[in-house]
Amino acid sequence: MLPLAFISCATSPERAAILNVPPEKTEKRPIPSSPEHILGSGSVDSEKLAEFLLIVNPEVGEPFARDFAKLYVEEAAAEGVNHDVAFSQMCLETGFLSFGGLVKPDMNNFCGLGAIGPGQEGESFPSTQIGVRAQIQHLKAYATDEPPKNALVDPRYRWVKYGSAPTIYGLAGSWAADKEYGRKIKNILDNLYAVAYGS
């Protein structure tokens, strides 16, 4: 379940979906299973990704949310990474773009790259697009030993054991020390699918 701080602004039906309340019997179509593999094609379109982000953090603003979600779809497709997975990881790492930790919004670091502790606040990127691209490339490095198709912008790419984590569960203890890291991404994915397909 997501921290309550991330859902306080959601309206009641939307809040129920985010909180993993079982969908009502009147829903028109079954909610598909959310993915676990990092590689592949996402199924939630950019409009629904933006809607999901705005439900939890409306302060992001609709224009930015829409453009931001499109970047995930485009950058992930270029590398064969599932954009639903990458977007959900971003939601976990940034608190749905509320930040509040070591990484600051102007760093364009959407996945905590290099954020280890005081004095090591993380990598910074010159634009939103390059920050998203770096995350996608880092995810791809964990999922496969196939090199990135776009020019490398991830400064930590060389430190990854390539192909060591084809699923989100392999990111626990590798990308993040948190042993529940993969499960937390899966929970966000499940909530995303409930919002995208449950209405």
Q: What is the pLDDT of residues 7-64, one digit of tens each?
A: 433 444 444 445 444 545 445 568 999 999 999 999 999 999 999 999 999 999 999 9
Q: Cβ distance 137 to 109 under 8 Å?
A: no
Mean pLDDT of the chain: 87
> How sure is the predictor about 199, in pLDDT bands with cuts at 50, 70 and 90?
low
Q: Are 86 and 92 in contact (CB under 8 A)?
A: no
- The predicted-structure confidence for 109-120, as pLDDT tens digits, reads as follows 999 898 776 666
- In this structure, whether the domain defined by 36-109+126-197 belongs to CATH 3.40.50 is answered with no
Is residue 154 predicted with pLDDT exceeding 60?
A: yes
Q: What is the mean pLDDT of residues 97-122?
A: 82
What span, in angstroms and rounded, lies between the C-alpha atoms of 189 and 170? Answer: 16
Q: Is residue 194 over pLDDT 90?
A: yes
Q: Which residues contact 72 (CB under 8 A, 6 or more apart)?
A: 46, 49, 83, 86, 87, 90, 132, 136
Q: Look at residue 138 in the predicted model and tell me its pLDDT.
A: 97
> Where do the domains of the chain lie?
36-109+126-197
In the chain, % of residues over pLDDT 90: 74
What distance in Å separates the CA atoms of residue 160 and residue 63, rounded to the nearest whole number? 34
Indicate whether 188 pLDDT > 90: yes
- What is the C-alpha radius of gyration for the chain, rounded to an integer number of angstroms? 16
Average pLDDT over residues 149-174: 96
Give the orientation angle of helix 46-56 with respect to helix 181-197, to 10 degrees.
Answer: 110
Q: Global pTM?
A: 0.84
